[in-house]
Structure 1
Amino acid sequence: MIRNILLGWFGTFLQLFLRLSWGVISIPIAVLLHLNTVEIGLVATSFYIGYVISSIPWGLVIDKIGPNKAITISALILVPFNLLLFFSLNSYVLLVVVYLIDGLVAAAIFPSAMKIVAISHSDGSKFTFYIALVESAAPITTLLLSLIATILLHLWKFVYLLMAIGFLLLGILSAKINPNVTSTEIRKSLKIIFDKRIALSTLIRLGELWATWGTTTWIFPMLILYKDISPSLSALFLLLFGIGQLVGIISVDRLVQLVGTIKVILLNLIGFIIISLLLTISNDNLILSEAFLLGIFSFSYRPPTDSLIMKISGGGSAGTSIGYANAISQIGTMIAPTVVGLVLYLTKSFTFSMIALDIGCIISVISLIILETWL
């Protein structure tokens, strides 16, 4: 099953790179199409609108037909739309529509990857580890973007060509693998949606995604435009931020074993709030040292949260539970980029934009405290 998990990792990486690269390539595209900060944020939001709309249907489909078939269908549909942006990006409307369609289709990939983990490791002591392995695609994506950010400012079109090639390869590889998966009745899977513990866990996830992807989408351009940090130094910040995410996600399984799932999630949420506020008063040197810590706290809550959701639902309905969690929690991801863009547009303030990101963590902390009394 390890090759299935690696396939899930590759698919997760591709869909993350597609959406997270917007935080870098938005700068040259904004110049090309004369976009303001609100319009920049709306492009990212359009992706997440599609992601939210289709996540629950995809979850049900995944539990019914299996994760690999769902990945194949999704990946092959994404190929022509990325080629369209590579060959002809001359309209803001086209840009928004394609990102919306990308979101609708890419929503199948991450729940499929989680379903693969649930099929093979839900009863094992390394369940959180394998979830963290798949989700390590996120910090690795951030690291890669930090290393090539300055290059992408000039060669941004090739992001879409590489995405088309990557999704084509993913579709071909996924079609050749047939995991052992039992079809789950849609009626049975739908019951998961009405479990109040799943609903509250999803609200925790919503706040986490608000903070994580709002930061990842905006931190690079915010440092340049509103903190007067050079592009090269901002790229270094992004690199350290990504390293921190990777270190955090590698160590989270051991930390969960030591102190428990709930405490790990809570510690990381509080840590994010503290470091994000320190960033607003720090100079260039301190900002770089805080980038690593922000990276750790901005992602280490994800694997234990997703592990908690799938343990509550059971492996047979993992696709539906994560699909549902994606649908609701991605509202945070969908809103955060535009909220931050609006705050920047109205206040021109780095401080207020970071406070806007902390709202997500506050939502998660409150929901986590309530959930703990229900478990």
Structure 2
Amino acid sequence: MPGALLEQERRRSIPGASTGQTVDGIVKPVFRWTVLLISWLAVTLTFTDRLAWASVAVEAGRTLGLPVAALGVFVTAFYSGYVISNAVGGLSSDRFGSERVMLCSLVPLGLATFGFGFTTSITYGLLMQAIMGLAAGANHAATVKLIVSWFGLTERGRAMGLLTSANSFGVVLANAIVPSLSVSIGWGGAYNVLGLITSVFGLAAFLILRHRPAPQAPAPSPRFDPMLVFRNRDLTLLGLAGFCAMWGTWGVAFWANALMTRQFGMTPVQAGGLLALFGVAGMVSKPALGFLLDLIGSNKKKPILICVFTTFAAALIIYSGLDSIGEFTIATPLLGLVAFIYTPVLVASVSEVAGPQQTGTAVGITNAIWQLGSVIVPIAIGVVFSATGSFQVAFLALAAGPLLAALLMLPVRYKAAV
């Protein structure tokens, strides 16, 4: 009885709990939607900062004297830091709390993004991008941990779908505003603006979240467990499948703009508009699939992922054969539908296999594996395009990723731990 009374008192003390509803016997405060909004905005800003380079690479490359094949080195510098901090951020979220990790991610990211706007040498630019990556990576696990803590299994699909739609909206935002900002105030000025917004938001998010404990938050993890993913066969396979899928997704996001500008004579604004359509489609598809998952149940995640990965590979193969702005205008949003839609299913699968107490660690480490594809693909596709001069060959190389992801999903034995 004393324990039950203490638990009732704890839940009464949580702001917003009195105005919430009860689902499966668990208090679900209305504030959870504020948590989702803050997490969504945090992911949006992170992705906008990291994808801004795709919109200014050609102009900035001319300023810095970089050949086309070398434009991806800044992306690789970013992701080298990003991969490391994903794992560290996941471990830290389980141990110290998501709101603290978010603060330590967004504020330094904003400062480094602001600093990158003053790049005048390749060495300085690589350093700033590496720092940006180190700061940005920790945010992913922190936001997923918040969603798992505030949303129960029966509504987590829609919450995860909405959260991961921020990735796609970041693509939309970067391609919609960065080219115009670059024209108006220069590519460096565009980075200055993004950096200021990111740092201010990071501080505001921490102030809002720091005294708002989730009613169903798991106890802090008693120890760091960096080998968690590699001891679990299914988590390892999900990590490798995500690596291959991200190869295709971020290969398109980073290279489509530059490739269409170089090979088909589009202006950066035209190519950016097409990539904005790519992101809009992904932004719509992920929440839709998240709602569907809540309806059909978690045990259908494996066949859904296999189907989506196979369709994504086929779409990239078809896209590789296009050669006119009209065809790209029709096909780009269709490609966006399948290029992003798998994300909420993949993230939810990892969090459910790992369990709530170790969600941060599992999500952080698997995302670090996934993002290795983003580290390698900018340079790999740059080399392919430089060697062949072919848009088609470059996109066929991207299609190999999701095709392999579908094959890796076949031996997964999915079983939710929550």
TM-score clears 0.5: yes
Change (3 A) 1:165 1:373: closer
Map 1:149-168 to 2 at 5 A: 149-154=178-183, 155-168=186-199
The answer to whether structure 1 residue 270 and structure 2 residue 310 are counterparts is yes
Pick one of 210, 217, 221 that aligns with 2:254: 217
Query: Is contact 1:190–1:320 with CA below 8 Å preserved after alignment?
Result: no
The answer to whether structure 1 residue 370 and structure 2 residue 407 are counterparts is no
Query: Which amino acid in 2 is paired with 1:199?
Result: T
1:98 alignment partner in structure 2: 128
> How many Å apart are 1:145 and its aligned residue?
2.8
1:126 alignment partner in structure 2: 155
Change (3 A) 1:34 1:310: same
> How many Å apart are 1:265 and its aligned residue?
1.6
Pick one of 312, 319, 332 that aligns with 1:279: 319
> How many Å apart are 1:109 and its aligned residue?
0.6
- C-alpha separation between the residues in 2 aligned to 1:6 and 1:374? 29
> How many Å apart are 1:302 and its aligned residue?
0.7
- C-alpha separation between the residues in 2 aligned to 1:132 and 1:14? 17
1:194 alignment partner in structure 2: 231
Pick one of 40, 44, 48 that aligns with 1:9: 40
Cα root mean square deviation, aligned: 2.0
Pick one of 316, 321, 332 that aligns with 2:373: 332
> How many Å apart are 1:285 and its aligned residue?
1.8
Query: In structure 1, the residue corresponding to 2:306 is in which secondary structure?
Result: helix
Greater relative CO (CA pairs within 8 A, separation 6+): 1
Query: Is contact 2:286–2:340 with CA below 8 Å preserved after alignment?
Result: yes
Return the TM-score normalized by structure 2: 0.84
Higher alpha-carbon deviation: 72-81 or 89-98: 72-81
Query: Gaps spanning 5+ residues in structure 1: where?
Result: none
Pick one of 329, 344, 354 that aligns with 1:303: 344
1:317 alignment partner in structure 2: 358
Query: Is contact 2:347–2:363 with CA below 8 Å preserved after alignment?
Result: yes
Percent pairwise identity: 21
Query: Is contact 2:279–2:333 with CA below 8 Å preserved after alignment?
Result: yes
Query: Is contact 1:189–1:317 with CA below 8 Å preserved after alignment?
Result: no
Change (3 A) 1:41 1:11: same
Query: Is contact 2:353–2:414 with CA below 8 Å preserved after alignment?
Result: no
Q: Deviations over 1:98-148 (max 9, x none)?
A: 111111121111110000011111x33121111111111122122223323
Return the TM-score normalized by structure 1: 0.93
> How many Å apart are 1:372 and its aligned residue?
4.5
- C-alpha separation between the residues in 2 aligned to 1:195 and 1:207? 19
Query: Is contact 1:72–1:170 with CA below 8 Å preserved after alignment?
Result: no
Aligned residues: 373
- C-alpha separation between the residues in 2 aligned to 1:219 and 1:39? 16
Query: Gaps spanning 5+ residues in structure 2: where?
Result: 1-31
1:140 alignment partner in structure 2: 169
The answer to whether structure 1 residue 239 and structure 2 residue 276 are counterparts is yes
Change (3 A) 1:238 1:373: closer
Map 1:51-66 to 2 at 5 A: 51-66=82-97
> How many Å apart are 1:85 and its aligned residue?
2.2
> How many Å apart are 1:374 and its aligned residue?
8.5
> How many Å apart are 1:190 and its aligned residue?
4.8
> How many Å apart are 1:339 and its aligned residue?
0.7
- C-alpha separation between the residues in 2 aligned to 1:286 and 1:95? 36
Q: Deviations over 1:192-232 (max 9, x none)?
A: 44211111111111111111111101111111112333444
- C-alpha separation between the residues in 2 aligned to 1:192 and 1:262? 18
Query: Which amino acid in 1 is paired with 2:314?
Result: I
- C-alpha separation between the residues in 2 aligned to 1:141 and 1:265? 23
Change (3 A) 1:186 1:267: same
- C-alpha separation between the residues in 2 aligned to 1:342 and 1:189? 33
Pick one of 141, 144, 159 that aligns with 1:114: 144
- C-alpha separation between the residues in 2 aligned to 1:105 and 1:144? 20
Query: Which amino acid in 1 is paired with 2:244?
Result: G
Question: Which is higher, the Rg of structure 1 or of structure 2?
Answer: 2
> How many Å apart are 1:187 and its aligned residue?
4.5
Q: Deviations over 1:59-111 (max 9, x none)?
A: 1111111000011112222233223223x211011111111111112111111
1:172 alignment partner in structure 2: 203
- C-alpha separation between the residues in 1 aligned to 2:101 and 2:382? 34
Q: Deviations over 1:135-193 (max 9, x none)?
A: 11122122223323541442322332222222222232233122424311124675344
Q: Deviations over 1:16-63 (max 9, x none)?
A: 011111110111100101111232111101111111122222211111
The answer to whether structure 1 residue 348 and structure 2 residue 389 are counterparts is yes
Query: Which amino acid in 2 is paired with 1:172?
Result: L
Query: In structure 1, the residue corresponding to 2:410 is in which secondary structure?
Result: helix
Query: Which amino acid in 2 is paired with 1:281?
Result: G
Query: Is contact 1:25–1:152 with CA below 8 Å preserved after alignment?
Result: no
Change (3 A) 1:354 1:114: same
1:76 alignment partner in structure 2: 107
1:359 alignment partner in structure 2: 400
Query: Which amino acid in 2 is paired with 1:331?
Result: L
- C-alpha separation between the residues in 1 aligned to 2:100 and 2:224? 21
Question: In proportion to residue count, which structure has more helix?
Answer: 1
Query: Is contact 2:96–2:220 with CA below 8 Å preserved after alignment?
Result: yes
- C-alpha separation between the residues in 1 aligned to 2:148 and 2:229? 15
Change (3 A) 1:116 1:274: same
